A and B are shown apart, each in its own frame.
Chain A
Amino acid sequence: MLNKKRLGLVAIVVAALLILLTTYLALFFAPIPQTSVEVANKVAPSVEGSRMQVAGFIGRLIFTNCTGNCTGSPAVLLADFSDYSRYTSAVEDSALDQPWWTIQPLIVEMPAGVSLDDLVLGTNLSAMGEVKKTQGFPSFQADYALAVESSDDVTIGGSSGEYEIVIAPISQKIFYFHMPSAWVCYVAFFVTLVGSILYLRSRNVNYDRLAFCSAELGVLFATLAITTGPIWAKEEWGVYWRWDDTKLVSTFILWLVYIGYLSLRAAIAETGTKARVSAVYGIIGFVTVPMSFLSSRVAPLIDSSHPEVIATSKGGLSAEAGITIGIAVVAFTILYTAMLIRRLGVAESADELEEIKREIGGE
């Protein structure tokens, strides 16, 4: 028969082993995700000055040394977008000049054997050309260069089928810790909500302890999530933080709400009042965040550049990455449960100690 203490200990050991396993798998098993795409829709990775077969759709024709009605041989801007409408809306918003814009149009010279009439904006083109210019960061180009070097016998932009492009740098590995932390913090805050509601209904102090301990752990894991995210974002987006990403901002606000929750608890001495009042705040606080999606200013941002975890038709995680992230989520959930059990035990002992102090008349 396992008692609570032993159960907590076992769970911690299991979680620790699973996290070690996750680390191993993340480093040596899961590949950096390859974005598997229809080759016709993607520009091949490239570095400036190199000649290669590239494919994409035509975003813009760039004529040099002429004004007005230009003929002759234009450079072609091939845009690396999943579809043409996304590209045009990005151009409208001048988003291409933003430092966080990670999709990189490549400019190649006029392909041989293609007439000017064929160069209709938005049509797909696969051509051999010199890459005149890439937009983006040195680190990106280095990644691309790496990808090209390691597969230099591959014909990029081949006739058909799918082609894999390395899009993420090594910092992507942090994903296996980032996403489970974020998941656990949402679970923890939800447990706080449930604990708060149950406390108000039953006045059972155990529910209050549950809400409190879970909120503490939620803040811990939210801190992990919002600190590991920027490490990756700096590499991938070029900035640490983006205020136009709903996931980032709402997690941050949630973090602030529960810091407020913990400050509130720390500022009230009387136990009954503390439990009651903080339960009320725990409920209002949790209501805030789903509501953020109602705000019309925020809603359009939901489909932002935050990576999708669940595989979509656009591609997704490879099987190896999927297994790793699955184990990571299980590991973090067990870790949370184990820490919660231990923390509840500590909180219970602290309350007992208070009780004993009161009995012997001390303060």
Chain B
Amino acid sequence: MSAILHLAVKDLRIELRSKDMLSSMFLFSLLMVLAFRFAFADAFASGEAAAIDIASSSLWICFSFAAIIGMYSSFVKEKDRETLEGLLLCPVDRSTLYLGKALSNLVLVFIVDILSILFFSLFFSYDYDGHALEVVAIALAGTTTLVLIGTLTAAISVNARAREVLLPILLVPLIAFSVIIPCVSATKSALEGQMTEAVREISSILGFAVVFGAVGYLVFDYIFEG
């Protein structure tokens, strides 16, 4: 456990020193929300139901793509700086490495989630009908599943050529059912005030997190080897 924390803290410390991921993810989410603002201005104003639809779907498109950008660099950076070997030589399980990377990714992506939620509120002058906390909670649950799958595919794609294109190709089909569909509908239910519905969705999202976490824990060993 402390090894996982150590690895995550190491990643976050490097990030805090350079801030290159945080700044680019910050800008990315700002630009995404801005693009949605221009694209959906009229539709958003057309009624409360439309506003809820647009909010829940735009936020998750924003979260997913920001996460792809963030997770892409988590292994690529190690590879480019030639620190990957050093990391692999750490006297810990490879699976611990996986969870450590996932944890640092979770922190980074979750920060960007919060920023996107704020930007969305600002640009659309939308107050989430008093359900902002629930939206944040769903963002945390969904992002957990997202980074557990994403860290795995990021580690897979780091071995390949054209890896920046490959990561979304590998990741998006995997998160369609396990993240995007349940998260959008959970956010929608939460904004509509249907709490039982939202809780049901969140529990299925967390179920996905457990399954993918377990699969990742088992197979991560094989990705870096030899």
Q: Does B157 contact A (CB under 8 A)?
A: yes
Chain A nearest Cβ from B157, distance in angstroms? 7
The 9 tightest CB contacts between A and B, nearest first, are: A267-B160, A256-B173, A292-B177, A257-B173, A260-B170, A267-B161, A280-B219, A268-B160, A260-B169
Query: Which bracket fits the contact residues of A?
Result: 20 to 34
Chain B nearest Cβ from A67, distance in angstroms? 30
Contact B161 A296 (CB under 8 A): no
A residues in contact with B174, CB < 8 Å: 257, 284-285, 288
Contact A277 B200 (CB under 8 A): no
CA distance A259 to B169 in the complex (A): 8
Contact with B along A252-281 (1 / 0, CB 8 A): 010011011001100111001100110111
Q: Does A313 contact B (CB under 8 A)?
A: no
Chain B nearest Cβ from A252, distance in angstroms? 9
B residues in contact with A296, CB < 8 Å: 182, 200-201, 204
Chain B nearest Cβ from A229, distance in angstroms? 19
Q: Does B156 contact A (CB under 8 A)?
A: yes
Q: Would A288 and B156 be within 8 Å (CB), given that A294-B208, A295-B181, A296-B204 are in contact?
A: no
Known: A200-B219, A284-B215. 20 other contacts (CB 8 A): A256-B172, A257-B174, A260-B166, A264-B156, A264-B157, A264-B170, A267-B163, A268-B159, A268-B160, A277-B223, A280-B219, A280-B222, A284-B153, A285-B173, A291-B177, A291-B178, A294-B204, A295-B181, A295-B204, A296-B201
Interface size, chain B (Cβ < 8 Å): 36
Contact A263 B166 (CB under 8 A): yes
Chain A nearest Cβ from B31, distance in angstroms? 27
CA distance A104 to B223 in the complex (A): 55
B residues in contact with A20, CB < 8 Å: none
Contact B211 A267 (CB under 8 A): no
Contact with A along B140-183 (1 / 0, CB 8 A): 00000000010011001101111100100110111011100110
Chain B nearest Cβ from A12, distance in angstroms? 32
Q: Which residue of A lies closest to B149 (CB)?
A: A284
CA distance A263 to B157 in the complex (A): 10
Q: Would A273 and B219 be within 8 Å (CB), given that A257-B173, A281-B153, A288-B173 are in contact?
A: no
Chain A nearest Cβ from B226, distance in angstroms? 6
B residues in contact with A284, CB < 8 Å: 149, 152-153, 174, 212, 215-216, 219
Contact A276 B226 (CB under 8 A): yes
Question: 25 A-B contacts, Cβ less than 8 Å apart?
Answer: A200-B222, A257-B173, A257-B174, A259-B169, A260-B169, A264-B166, A264-B170, A267-B161, A267-B162, A267-B166, A268-B159, A273-B159, A276-B222, A276-B225, A277-B159, A277-B223, A280-B222, A280-B223, A281-B153, A283-B219, A284-B152, A285-B174, A287-B212, A295-B178, A298-B181
